[in-house]
């Protein structure tokens, strides 16, 4: 696309645009606002999305969630239609409706006024039908895609026959109109999608293309390719790949996608006769996965009624998210069809809530539907009448008029993502998706279970959905809960909205405390939907709390700007944690999550974790004594880039971007900070630097400061451009020439006989600066601007003018390469010391020069303006990302690595977690379902941890793992002997509580534990400022004997432990044994 091409070429015109506030917009896309979303979708999809016109019909829960998520995504227009006048119950599922709207204002008009606030780039309006009455095909024809959600007065639905007719119209247009249906009925929901007979998918999964290094290619009728065995290539049967830089078999370098088969961990075949291609030569050849467009056919809403599974679906079944309910989606399909049939026979009326007669009628309708399908002789996938599960059908029927808001949030995220898929990005739903949350209904006999039908009676309030689903006592229970929400970013905003809708913490005794120390940035507005442009710079927690309270004035919410951690335990003290009923994390870093997890284990409070990454998300339930905690299982750390790869042997764009980020840090931050330190204390700085043990590092620091001081003393714009031009020559020409001098292109490893430049080592090519290359001039322009910022030099208004830059740089010299005697490591296992023979000499000369400057030009030195750059990824006017993009892509050109657009560089260099509103909304909906389960007597089989990927319609729900148990062992590898667990099978949730006093001595505590546990105490240890220290270990530290007669509290304080006045306990770990060997016991809680 043009959008993509403009970013790949990075023309000087685009570079100039990036220097102004308007730089955020590229090809009609505000790259600042949409930065995280672009990181997920890419510019090509964004370009298609901003041209899309969407109609959303029905503005109860699913409809408003879809509208919100889609408007944040940024299509051209979102039009809403639901002429029903607002009802009181709507306030519990549509957060943009207010009490003043009830009985007076249409849902669509009231909603449109608020939805349009989400994104000024999107035209949002309420539809007035062409015929002046109700929706018709003339209205649908104006849109690219239409979404039908729950609509109309409470208890009524649009006839399925109308939806089928609308669908037929949409799919038979010359350019098919996308068609989606979504509904939540009680504690279950569904979505259906039809993109026509020939929808084209350009990218089925959205993943970055995998690249592998080739180790060998075998000629023959079938070409066999082997990749390096250091790691799996990750390709799959049926993938298409493109070859690059293959030597000896040039035919493979034609750029044509080739389909692979017979895939193994380190190889694959191509059904192509390569007998005549020549022999493969060991080189730096690579093979890259490529996306090939493919058509996908859909069937109509009517056709899928009896056959919900596409014939070409390799799975051959409806999506099953929860395999403990295998077959449930088909039963839900029958239940929903039966409810539609019931409504068609009853004037559009849904079954009355909790009405046995209506429920029985729906069950009979379900059986009749299946019987008719099988009796017709037509092919059908529906179950036989006797296989219809009456309890599932009845569960849907009895609650069909109500809507579980958490499920509405989930399906609102899913459906909005399906709308985005109309662009050709990702795999669309094929074609039905059902999900239920039946476990949220309290079991009979449970104290929160409704005792009779009267508890389900609604009274015309915003809580009617909750009361109608769970009963009045359960609704009151939710309202009185005290919840702590840690974080109010994307996840936190969604949580606060969900809490307000479900009534959590909304009663007189309820409370929601939210804390977040961050302020709002422009890039937050695209997915943190409680914030508006006027909120930028303000506290997230305060603004989010105020917005949530506006959605439900009953919400008892307190906003804090305090981080949660060891340093703030005086704020979040024992009374605070002990008074909570639930903790919900909305954090974006592992360290904070682990801390909160540990606190929840200590206070035995339920915690629900969640996180997102692009279209992927996960949830985890942490329930006291029932499940493992978050800290019990963690993902492995990501591999770091080896230093040699970074410095000299990159083979992926990530290596080039990390190298450019280091270059930025060294050139514009570290060297300037060192120069400022020298300016402020010349002799001390020189003396300290000369003591640096590594000669090469000494030289770099000293030369860097000499250069910085020299520049600062004489800098004007021309000098800045000259210096930028020198940096280009050094990094992209001289250093590359030096590397090739040390290791020529034909260099062969003497020990192995293998060419040095093979495998991951790609022989680079020097770049000579050219005034005719926009990328070269772009690097110089942004580098010069950064240098000017370092030294307080005004950047001229024509800083990016291509002709001015050509004129300035044309006469600047390009010194010829002169080889030096420099040691360069050949790999990570090379223990050679890098540097030049003259490092010591040059370092001393630089030090002498600096001393001379300090002595002869003291006044000028003291007056120098030096301002180190502080890397900021989200300011498009500061040149930071522009420099790194230019520097990394030039580095990639050195090594023949494909370049990437600026937004991709920003994501990697800024370590930005790609995020979109759809995933966030969906995953917080799932968390809401788990919250509802938490407040019953929880059972592990009721809870679900979930991993999902909206891009490929993958939903994996599983029962949480139980807590890890400590058990007795005949041989323990840590103690190197037998180990007895006491009590057997204790978990991290267990502890031993010792009731003592401030006067209790160490010996008294030791004897108390020993007597109660019938063990000998070897070590008592405590944690001080995150570090484990031995408080009492006389075998290892005889001096500890002196502590025996001292109070435990005094010893702890002496060791540096902070014991606030309100804290009346100390946690300890104990190492103990008996006559048979070591004994493991739970942690000790010493209370005083």
- Is 644 noted as a catalytic residue in this protein? yes
Q: Using DSSP, state whether 358 is helix, strand or coil.
A: helix
What is d(CA 576, CA 506) in angstroms, rounded to the nearest whole number?
Answer: 18
Mean pLDDT, to the nearest integer, of 377-402?
94
pLDDT of 809-850, one tens digit each?
998 988 999 998 888 887 766 666 566 778 888 889 889 989
Nearest residue to 141 via CA among 173, 108, 179, 181: 173
pLDDT at 8 over 50: no
Q: What confidence score (pLDDT) does residue 830 get? A: 65
pLDDT at 1045 over 70: yes
The pair of structure tokens assigned to 540 is 């997230």
Q: What confidence score (pLDDT) does residue 1012 get? A: 93
Mean pLDDT, to the nearest integer, of 323-336?
95
Q: What is the dihedral of CA 243, 247, 249, 254, to 10 degrees?
A: 40
pLDDT at 193 over 60: yes
Supply the DSSP symbol for 27.
Answer: T
CB 70, CB 56: distance < 8 Å:
yes
CB 777, CB 767: distance < 8 Å:
no
CB 214, CB 227: distance < 8 Å:
yes
What is d(CA 437, CA 99) in angstroms, rounded to the nearest whole number?
Answer: 29
**Burial (0-12, 13-18, 19+ Cβ within 10 Å), 278:** middle
What is d(CA 914, CA 17) in angstroms, rounded to the nearest whole number?
Answer: 24
pLDDT at 158 over 90: yes
pLDDT at 384 over 90: yes
What is d(CA 454, CA 464) in angstroms, rounded to the nearest whole number?
Answer: 13
pLDDT at 1085 over 60: yes
Count of Cβ atoms closer than 10 Å to residue 254 Cβ: 9
Q: What confidence score (pLDDT) does residue 942 get? A: 93
Mean pLDDT, to the nearest integer, of 966-990?
92
The pair of structure tokens assigned to 293 is 């467009």
pLDDT at 874 over 70: yes
CB 800, CB 886: distance < 8 Å:
no
CB 405, CB 412: distance < 8 Å:
no
Exposed e or buried b per residue across 96-121, where buried means at least 16 C-beta atoms within 10 angstroms of its C-beta: bbbeebbeebbbbbbbbebbbebbeb
CB 179, CB 166: distance < 8 Å:
yes
Query: What's the Rg (C-alpha) of the chain?
Result: 33
pLDDT of 784-794, one tens digit each?
999 999 999 99
CB 361, CB 367: distance < 8 Å:
no
Highest mean pLDDT among 262-266, 279-283, 1026-1030: 262-266
CATH superfamily, domain 969-1087, is Ubiquitin-activating enzyme E1, UFD domain (3.10.290.60)
Nearest residue to 242 via CA among 208, 199, 286: 286
CB 615, CB 950: distance < 8 Å:
yes
**Burial (0-12, 13-18, 19+ Cβ within 10 Å), 819:** exposed
pLDDT at 316 over 90: no
Residue 909 host element (H or E): helix 902-909
Q: Which of 4-13, 641-650, 688-697 has the lowest mean pLDDT?
A: 4-13
Half-sphere exposure of 190 (CA within 13 A, CB side): 24
CB 1, CB 50: distance < 8 Å:
no
What is d(CA 711, CA 723) in angstroms, rounded to the nearest whole number?
Answer: 9
Q: What confidence score (pLDDT) does residue 637 get? A: 62
pLDDT band of residue 19 (cuts 50, 70, 90) is very low
Phi, psi of 730 (to 5 degrees): -65, -50
**Burial (0-12, 13-18, 19+ Cβ within 10 Å), 315:** exposed
Helices assigned H by DSSP within 910-1022: 917-934, 1002-1013
In CATH, what number does 211-290 get? 2.40.30.180
Q: What confidence score (pLDDT) does residue 1 get? A: 32
Residue 126 host element (H or E): strand 123-126
In the numeric block, the tokens 């999107």 are attached to 122
What is d(CA 160, CA 155) in angstroms, rounded to the nearest whole number?
Answer: 15
Phi, psi of 506 (to 5 degrees): -105, 0
Q: What confidence score (pLDDT) does residue 102 get? A: 98
What is d(CA 555, CA 506) in angstroms, rounded to the nearest whole number?
Answer: 4
Phi, psi of 364 (to 5 degrees): -65, -35
Nearest residue to 960 via CA among 689, 630, 709: 630
Q: Which of 644, 720, 921, 1052 is catalytic?
A: 644
pLDDT at 16 over 60: no
What is the CA angle 189-191-193, rounded to 5? Answer: 175
**Of how many residues is the chain composed?**
1088
Mean pLDDT, to the nearest integer, of 490-494?
97
Mean pLDDT, to the nearest integer, of 680-704?
88
Exposed e or buried b per residue across 995-1034, where buried means at least 16 C-beta atoms within 10 angstroms of its C-beta: ebeeebbbbbbbebbeeebebebbbbbbeeeeeeebbbbb
The sheet with strand 77-81 has its strands ordered as: 123-126, 77-81, 53-57, 145-148, 178-185, 188-194, 432-436
What is d(CA 560, CA 101) in angstroms, rounded to the nearest whole number?
Answer: 32
What is d(CA 796, CA 812) in angstroms, rounded to the nearest whole number?
Answer: 20
| Beta strands per DSSP E along 564-606 | 582-585
pLDDT at 1039 over 50: yes
Q: Which of 15-19, 43-47, 162-166, 543-547 has the lowest mean pLDDT?
A: 15-19
Reading phi first (left if > 0) and then psi (alpha if -120 to 50, else beta), residue 27 is in: left
Reading phi first (left if > 0) and then psi (alpha if -120 to 50, else beta), residue 234 is in: left
Mean pLDDT, to the nearest integer, of 1005-1020?
94
Count of Cβ atoms closer than 10 Å to residue 711 Cβ: 22
Q: What is the mean pLDDT of the chain?
A: 91
CB 998, CB 1047: distance < 8 Å:
yes
What is d(CA 558, CA 549) in angstroms, rounded to the nearest whole number?
Answer: 10
Count of Cβ atoms closer than 10 Å to residue 949 Cβ: 20
The sheet with strand 607-613 has its strands ordered as: 557-560, 511-515, 482-486, 582-585, 607-613, 616-622, 945-949, 954-958
What is d(CA 3, CA 315) in angstroms, rounded to the nearest whole number?
Answer: 37
Mean pLDDT, to the nearest integer, of 804-809?
92
Q: Could you report how far apart the first and last alpha carbons of the chain are, in Å? A: 70
pLDDT of 73-109, one tens digit each?
999 999 999 999 999 999 999 999 999 999 999 999 9
Q: What confidence score (pLDDT) does residue 20 get? A: 31
CA distances for 708 relative to 531, 835, 846, angstroms: 43, 22, 12
CB 68, CB 917: distance < 8 Å:
yes
Domain assignments of the chain as residue spans, ordered by start: 211-290, 654-827+839-909, 969-1087
Phi, psi of 398 (to 5 degrees): -70, -20
pLDDT band of residue 18 (cuts 50, 70, 90) is very low
pLDDT at 13 over 80: no
Q: What confidence score (pLDDT) does residue 635 get? A: 66
Phi, psi of 735 (to 5 degrees): -65, -35
Phi, psi of 610 (to 5 degrees): -160, 160
CB 238, CB 260: distance < 8 Å:
yes
Mean pLDDT, to the nearest integer, of 358-379?
94
Q: What confidence score (pLDDT) does residue 14 get? A: 29
The pair of structure tokens assigned to 74 is 């940024």
Q: What confidence score (pLDDT) does residue 22 get? A: 33
The angle, 0 to 180 degrees and rounded to 10, between the axes of the packed helices 390-399 and 328-345 is 50
CB 392, CB 331: distance < 8 Å:
yes
Supply the DSSP symbol for 302.
Answer: T
Task: Reply yes or no on domain 654-827+839-909 having CATH 1.10.10.2660.
Answer: yes
Mean pLDDT, to the nearest integer, of 531-542?
96
pLDDT of 551-596, one tens digit each?
999 999 999 999 999 888 889 999 999 999 999 999 988 889 999 9
What is d(CA 892, CA 1044) in angstroms, rounded to the nearest whole number?
Answer: 66
pLDDT of 748-789, one tens digit each?
988 888 899 988 899 999 999 999 999 999 999 999 999 999
pLDDT of 500-534, one tens digit each?
999 999 999 999 999 999 999 988 998 899 999 99
Q: What is the DSSP string of 394-406?
A: HHHHHHTTSB-HH
């Amino acid at each position: 696309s043009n959008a993509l091409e403009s970013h790949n070429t990075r023309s000087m015109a685009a570079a100039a645009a990036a220097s102004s506030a308007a730089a955020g917009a590229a090809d009609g896309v505000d790259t600042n606002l949409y930065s995280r979303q672009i990181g997920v979708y890419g510019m090509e999809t964004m370009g298609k999305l901003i041209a899309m016109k969407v109609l959303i019909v029905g503005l109860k829960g699913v409809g408003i969630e879809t509208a919100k998520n889609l408007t944040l995504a940024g299509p051209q227009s979102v039009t809403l239609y639901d002429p029903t006048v607002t009802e009181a119950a709507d306030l519990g599922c549509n957060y943009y409706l207010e009490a003043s709207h009830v009985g007076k204002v249409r849902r669509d008009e009231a909603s449109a006024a608020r939805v349009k606030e989400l994104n000024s780039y999107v035209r949002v309006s309420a539809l007035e039908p062409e015929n002046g009455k109700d929706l018709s095909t003339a209205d649908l024809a104006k849109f690219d895609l239409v979404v039908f959600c729950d609509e109309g007065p409470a208890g009524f639905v649009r006839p399925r026959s109308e939806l089928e007719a609308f669908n037929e119209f949409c799919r038979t247009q010359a350019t098919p109109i996308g068609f989606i249906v979504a509904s939540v009925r009680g504690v279950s929901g569904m979505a259906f999608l039809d993109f026509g007979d020939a929808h084209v998918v350009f990218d089925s999964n959205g993943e970055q293309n995998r690249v592998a290094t080739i180790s060998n290619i075998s000629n023959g009728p079938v070409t066999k390719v082997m990749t390096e065995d250091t790691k799996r290539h990750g390709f799959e049967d049926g993938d298409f790949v493109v070859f690059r830089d293959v030597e000896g078999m040039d035919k493979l370098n034609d750029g044509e996608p080739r389909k692979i088969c017979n895939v193994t961990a380190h190889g694959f075949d191509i059904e192509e006769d390569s007998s005549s291609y020549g022999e493969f030569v060991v080189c730096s050849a690579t093979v890259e996965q490529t996306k090939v467009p493919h058509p996908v056919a859909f069937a109509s809403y009517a056709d899928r009624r009896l056959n919900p599974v596409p014939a070409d679906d390799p799975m051959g079944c409806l999506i099953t998210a929860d395999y403990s309910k295998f077959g449930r989606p088909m039963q839900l399909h029958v239940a929903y069809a039966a409810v539609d049939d019931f409504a068609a026979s009853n004037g559009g009326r849904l079954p009355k809530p909790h009405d046995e007669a209506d429920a029985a009628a729906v069950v009979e309708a379900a059986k009749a539907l299946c019987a008719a399908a099988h009796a017709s002789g037509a092919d059908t996938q529906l179950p036989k009448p006797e296989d219809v599960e009456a309890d599932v059908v009845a569960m849907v029927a009895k609650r069909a008029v109500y809507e579980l808001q958490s499920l509405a949030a989930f399906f609102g995220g899913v459906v909005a993502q399906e709308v985005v898929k109309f662009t050709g990005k990702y795999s669309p739903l094929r074609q039905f998706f059902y999900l239920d949350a039946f476990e949220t209904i309290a079991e009979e006999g449970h104290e929160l279970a409704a005792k009779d039908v009267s508890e389900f009676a609604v009274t015309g309030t915003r809580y009617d959905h909750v009361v109608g689903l769970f009963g009045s006592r359960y609704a009151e229970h939710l309202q009185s809960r005290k919840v702590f929400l840690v974080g109010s970013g994307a996840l936190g905003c969604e949580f606060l909205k969900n809490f307000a809708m479900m009534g959590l913490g909304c009663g007189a005794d309820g409370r929601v405390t939210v804390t977040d120390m961050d302020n709002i940035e422009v890039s937050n507005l695209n997915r943190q939907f409680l914030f508006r442009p006027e909120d930028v710079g303000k506290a997230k927690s305060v603004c989010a709390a105020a917005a949530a309270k506006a959605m439900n004035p009953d919400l008892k919410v307190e906003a804090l700007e305090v981080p949660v951690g060891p340093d703030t335990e005086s704020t979040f003290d024992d009374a605070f944690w002990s008074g909570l009923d639930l903790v919900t994390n909305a954090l974006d870093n592992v360290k904070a999550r682990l801390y909160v997890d540990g606190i929840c284990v200590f206070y035995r409070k339920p915690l629900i974790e969640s996180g997102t990454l692009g279209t992927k998300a996960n949830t985890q339930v942490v329930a006291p004594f029932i499940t493992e905690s978050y800290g019990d299982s963690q993902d492995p750390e990501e591999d770091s880039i080896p230093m040699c790869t970074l410095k000299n042997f990159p083979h992926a764009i990530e290596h080039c971007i990390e190298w450019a980020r280091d270059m930025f840090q060294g050139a514009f931050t570290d060297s300037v900070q060192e120069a400022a330190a020298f300016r402020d204390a010349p002799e001390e700085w020189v003396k300290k630097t000369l003591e640096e043990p590594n000669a090469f590092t000494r030289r770099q620091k000293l030369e860097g400061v000499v250069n910085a001081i020299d520049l600062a003393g004489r800098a004007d714009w021309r000098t800045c451009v000259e210096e930028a031009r020198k940096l280009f020559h050094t990094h992209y020409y001289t250093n590359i020439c030096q590397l090739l001098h040390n290791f020529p292109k034909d260099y062969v490893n003497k020990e192995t006989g293998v060419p040095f430049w093979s495998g991951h080592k790609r022989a680079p090519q020097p770049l000579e600066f050219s005034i005719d290359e926009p990328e070269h001039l772009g690097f110089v322009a942004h580098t010069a601007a950064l240098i000017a910022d370092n030294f307080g030099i005004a950047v001229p208004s024509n800083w990016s003018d291509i002709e001015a830059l050509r004129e300035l740089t044309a006469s600047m010299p390009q010194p010829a390469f002169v080889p030096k005697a420099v040691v360069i490591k050949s790999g990570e296992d090379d223990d050679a010391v890098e540097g030049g023979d003259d490092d010591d000499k040059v370092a001393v000369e630089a030090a002498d020069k600096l001393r001379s400057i300090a002595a002869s030009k003291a006044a000028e030195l003291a007056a120098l303006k030096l301002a180190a750059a502080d890397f900021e990824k989200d300011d498009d006017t500061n040149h930071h990302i522009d420099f790194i993009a230019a520097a990394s892509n030039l580095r990639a050109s050195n090594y023949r690595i494909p370049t990437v657009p600026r937004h991709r560089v920003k994501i990697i260099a800024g370590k930005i977690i790609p995020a979109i509103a759809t995933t966030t909304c969906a995953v917080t909906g799932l968390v809401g379902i788990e919250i509802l389960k938490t407040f019953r007597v929880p059972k592990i089989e009721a809870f679900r941890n979930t991993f999902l990927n909206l891009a490929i319609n993958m939903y994996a729900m599983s029962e949480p793992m139980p807590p890890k148990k400590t058990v007795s062992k005949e041989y323990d590898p840590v103690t190197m002997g037998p180990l007895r667990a006491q009590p057997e099978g204790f978990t991290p949730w267990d502890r031993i509580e010792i009731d003592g006093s401030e006067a209790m001595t160490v010996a008294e505590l030791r004897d108390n534990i020993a007597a109660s546990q019938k063990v000998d105490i070897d070590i008592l240890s405590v944690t001080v400022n995150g570090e484990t220290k031995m408080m009492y270990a006389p075998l290892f530290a005889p001096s500890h004997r002196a502590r025996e007669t001292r109070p435990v509290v005094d010893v702890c304080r002496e060791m540096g432990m902070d014991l606030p006045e309100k804290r009346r306990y100390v946690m300890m770990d104990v190492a103990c044994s008996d006559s048979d060997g070591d004994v493991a016991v739970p942690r000790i809680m010493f209370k005083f």
